[in-house]
Structure 1
Amino acid sequence: MATTISRRSVLAVGAGAAAGLALPVSAAQAGGDRKHVEFELDAQVLDGGEQVTSVTLRTARLGRIDPARLTTGMFTVHAKATSPIPIAPGDQIFSEYDLDRPVTAARLDRHGNVVLELSYAEGQVGGGTLGYIASKGRNVRLDLVYTITQNSPLVLRDGRAVTVSRFVQGGLSDPEVDAFGYGVSRSGMKYRLFEPHARRGRRPLVVWLHGGGEGASLPDNYYDNESQLRANRGALGFATPEAQRIFGGAYVVAPQSQSFWMEDGPRFAPQIREIIRDVVRRKDVDPDRIYVVGCSNGGYMSMEMTVAYPDLFAASVPICGVVQSLQAGGPRLITDAELAAIDTPTWLVASRDDDTVAPEPNTIHAHDLIPGSLLSLYDHVIWNGHQFPGHWSWIYVARNDPAQNGLHVWQWMARQRA
């Protein structure tokens, strides 16, 4: 039988499914019209992964609700999250859950809908939208079923009480993620693409290459084109208003591997190149301002791309990337000669306490060999007072934190030209 366990700051994403309401008798007898109401799950991608942070009940059509009469105890929110693919006997999946979500506030949005704010935080179990299957090393979008129970009637401004007979779950809304469109290359590699709001003239392109856990699991016919955006803020960081201002409006493309980049980087490189070529052809991309950034597996792949295409990129930012062999004593994934031949401006990032990809034989070794490369080496990964695993140094790049002589990494990238 599958074992369900939790872990701190799990990379957790899911789409909504239908959910019903078990209405307490006391509320059902409170009077007023019985109504059907749809609700939407509102999510945000934290540094440790996406979480459902609130629920919006489409109550505006019921009438003008009195906001002063809303209380946190008026509704109960129950959440159940399960894997979309079977879990093998004895395997482990992190972040499945079946629990009540604490309601921290109840308010009206500008449309007159009731919004139930939910308790959430970095590392908090019970709100994530992704689950991590241990044997596969993959994040999968959890199937989310939310059940809303009304404990007392809504009160309208005219004093009438309204009781809802059934709540029906709608979709998952995350504006940052939803801003990325969907694409599939001719070779079959899926990707997400963000387009800048200001598109006068040619704009730069940032290529984000995800970590190992965000690829597909095709033996299970699972290829979601979602996890590379929802597992962390790597790609999303470059679509924020701050980043867009620094780059003068940038396209951001996030391909998703059919497995994991380190499985066969030389095979994946032409597929990524095909996506870049297609985006450049269809959009107003400046071919002299294409930047590649990646974390962990993607950190390796960002270096592999500059080896395979030395004239393509204006800059490369490999984060906790891998260059040493996956097998003890095996050949390096990127040879010393290949590293020494990289002439793409490169800024490497890692944390000394990374116990997943040791920095000395990987990031530091690459820095020693790549001519003119820069290095930001942190002691720990801490943001907003929360300490993350040392491997998660991509958090710093997603927040434009690495700096050399007062110049931060996004500004440095934006200055580079191929």
Structure 2
Amino acid sequence: MKKMIVLLFLAALFVSLNGVFATSPPTNGEYGVVIEGYDWGPAVSKVILSLEEPVTSANWNDYQVMVRRSSDCSAIPDGQVLGSRRIVNGYVSDAEGSRLEEGNHITLVLAVAPNQPIGSPIQYSQTEGCSGNNWINYEMTIRDEAKGMLWNEEVNRVMPIIDQFDLSGRFSHENGVTMSYASYSPESDNEEHPLIIWLHGGGEGGVDPSIPLVANRAANYASDEIQAIFEGAHVLVPQSPTRWMDSGGATTSGETDDIYYKAVKALIDNYMSRHRDVDRDRIYLGGASNGAYLVLKLIIEYPDFFAAAFPSALAYQGAYFSDSQAERIKNIPIWFIHAKEDGTTVPDQTVVPVYNKLMKAGAPNVHFSFYDHVVDITGFFGGDDYRYPDHWSWIYSHANEARRDVDGSLVKLHGRPATIMEWLAGQSK
């Protein structure tokens, strides 16, 4: 009975919202959207309305925003297809959403939250042939109830930080592997700059390198805040066509070679050959889950190449990490991040034995932030009382919030407490 009531409610909502979407638009029905990255992923945070005449004020209480999410590929749960967006502010702006005293656009600021999937322009799916995170159709209909105006044609998309990346990268290796990649270069100043490499998790593979940047906020390594710590850094984000742990149709956790590590190393070398300002002594390698597996694999294979590593939610099985490998990489600075209740990459099978073997080998500069749970670090959604999936420990890396070692002490650089990015920037071969 309860299920029938829910189905009837959804049917009524569908009919109601279809009426909104079917309304004929006026001549000025064009809009743009702003998509921003958050700890939990991306959300449409603003909608920018085009006007025929300039205005000097915006009464945002007069507007209503409705959304339809659809995809020919990803499976979208019924309750996440249609819905309304709550408006929290509005102002006169330009076409990119920047505030103006007078302009031909109105920007509406929309509420976003980790438990509001109706705000997301991507969808995680396990549909065959469309697994992982993918962009979806995100159709909006905006009404000015006071003036009877309507906008329903998207003509512009602004993605802060991501728009600073070159998304056109393609690299083919002699072993037959071809990868897409995103890259960011700091302004040229005749100085050398470090290179930060990020290896995505299992849900961000494919051929669209914007997905590794937006699905879990990896683009933040090009943010003003993190770039200031490094005084400008290159950022390179390769994308696996399948998954980094692919050993040729099967999945490896360290027991056999994957098919990608040589190609990724060759891609890094290729990037450095084309960017002569990269500091060869400051190559930093990070990754999450599937990508953290490849971080460990790469530093094992090329221990003299990387200046430091920062893997989170490590997927490399500790049983396949030998004492001799620990000796091989013990002098590489490493900062592990993991959550104790991670059920995907179980710490007692992955990061804990790897860390213990490094400590046994006498590693002098290895740290381990081991969280009870992955929680809301902003405080906006409940702080410690709001819990993300415990596999999402990369949140602390992207937001530069990791500060403590496994014993609870603050990690220090030159005698002073340091965040993970401050520590990373201080490492050099």
TM-score, normalised by the number of residues in structure 2: 0.78
Check conservation: 1:20, 1:148, Cα contact below 8 A.
no
Name the CA distance, whole Å, in 2 between partners of 1:42 and 1:338.
46
Q: For 1:194, give the aligned amino acid.
A: Y
Structure scoring higher RCO (CA < 8 A, sep ≥ 6) equals 1
**Matching residue of 2:299:** 306
**Is the contact made by 1:23 and 1:149 (CA closer than 8 Å) also made in structure 2?**
no
Task: State the 4+ residue runs in structure 1 displaced beyond 4 angstroms.
Answer: 92-96, 163-167, 332-336
Give, in whole Å, the separation in 1 of the partners of 2:369 and 2:79: 32
Q: Give the superposition deviation at 1:333.
A: 5.4
2: distance between equivalents of 1:248 and 1:191?
A: 23
Tell me the distance in 1 between the aligned counterparts of 2:391 and 2:151: 45
Partner of 2:367: 374
Q: What is the CA distance between 1:104 and its match in structure 2?
A: 2.6
Q: Which runs of structure 2 are paired with 1:21-32 in the superposition (5 Å)?
A: 22=23
Deviations 1:5-34 (A, max 9, x none): xxxxxxxxxxxxxx977269xxxxxxxxx6
**Aligned residue number for residue 280 of structure 1:** 272
Cα separation, 2, equivalents of 1:417 and 1:367: 21
Alignment length, in residue pairs?
361
Change (3 A) 1:266 1:125: closer
Residue in structure 2 matched with residue 353 of structure 1 by the alignment = 341
**Contact 2:292–2:316 (8 Å) recurs in 1:** no
Pick from 38, 54, 64 the counterpart of residue 64 of structure 1.
Answer: 54
Q: Report matched runs for 1:40-55 at 5 Å.
A: 40-55=32-47
More off after superposition, 285-294 vs 346-355: 346-355
Other-structure match for 1:328: none
**The residue matched to 1:252 in structure 2 has which SS?**
strand
State the distance in 2 between where 1:288 and 1:169 align: 45
Determine if contact 1:36/1:167 at 8 Å carries over to the other structure. no
Relative distance call for 1:94 and 1:388 in structure 2 (3 A) is farther
What is the distance in 2 between the residues matched to 1:66 and 1:248? 39
1:393 aligns to 2:393 (yes or no): yes
Does the C-alpha gap of structure 1 residues 407 and 116 become closer, same or farther in structure 2, counting only changes over 3 Å?
closer
Which residue in 1 is equivalent to 2:423? 412
Match of 1:181 in 2: 166
Q: Tell me how far apart the structure 2 counterparts of residues 85 and 168 of structure 1 sit (CA, whole Å).
A: 22
Greater mean deviation of Cα atoms: 252-261 or 34-43: 34-43
Given that residues 181 and 236 in structure 2 are in contact (C-alpha distance below 8 angstroms), is that contact kept between their aligned partners in structure 1?
A: yes
- The answer for the alignment partner of 1:168 in structure 2 is 153
2:220 touches 2:399 (CA, 8 Å); kept in 1? yes
Deviation at 1:119, TM superposition (A): 2.1
Query: What is the CA–CA distance in structure 1 between the aligned matches of 2:200 and 2:47, rounded to whole Å?
Result: 29
SS in 2 for 1:185: strand
Q: Which residue of 2 aligns with 1:319?
A: 312
Counterpart CA distance in 2 for 1:125 and 1:86 is 14
Segments of structure 1 that go 5 or more residues without pairing to the other structure are: 1-18, 25-33, 154-162, 217-222, 326-331
Deviations 1:174-216 (A, max 9, x none): 1111111121113320011111135431110000011111112
What is the 5 A alignment of 1:87-126? Answer: 87=75, 96-109=80-93, 110-111=99-100, 112=103, 113-126=105-118
CA-to-aligned-CA distance 1:144-178 (integer Å, 9 cap, x gap): 1222233232xxxxxxxxx6576421132111111
Code of the residue aligned with 2:61 in structure 1: it is T
Instruction: Find 1:297's aligned residue among 276, 285, 290.
Output: 290
1:189–1:114 Cα change, 3 Å: same
CA distance in 2, matches of 1:197, 1:22: 47
Residues 302 and 288 of structure 1: is their aligned pair in 2 closer, same or farther, counting only changes over 3 Å?
same
Q: What's the C-alpha RMSD, in Å, of the aligned pairs?
A: 2.4
2:240 — aligned with what?
257
Q: Greater CA deviation, 263-272 or 353-362?
A: 263-272
Q: Which of 341, 344, 347 is the matching residue for 2:328?
A: 341
Moved more, 294-303 or 256-265: 256-265
Instruction: Confirm or deny: 8 A CA contact 2:246 2:258 kept in the other structure.
Output: no
Is 1:146 the equivalent of 2:140? yes
CA 1:133–1:336 in 2, change beyond 3 Å: closer, same or farther? Answer: farther
Q: Counterpart in 1 of 2:250?
A: none
CA contact (8 A) 2:74 2:125 kept: no
What CA distance in whole angstroms lies between the structure 2 residues aligned with 1:167 and 1:346?
49
* Unpaired stretches in structure 2, ≥5 consecutive residues: 1-19, 94-98, 248-256, 404-410
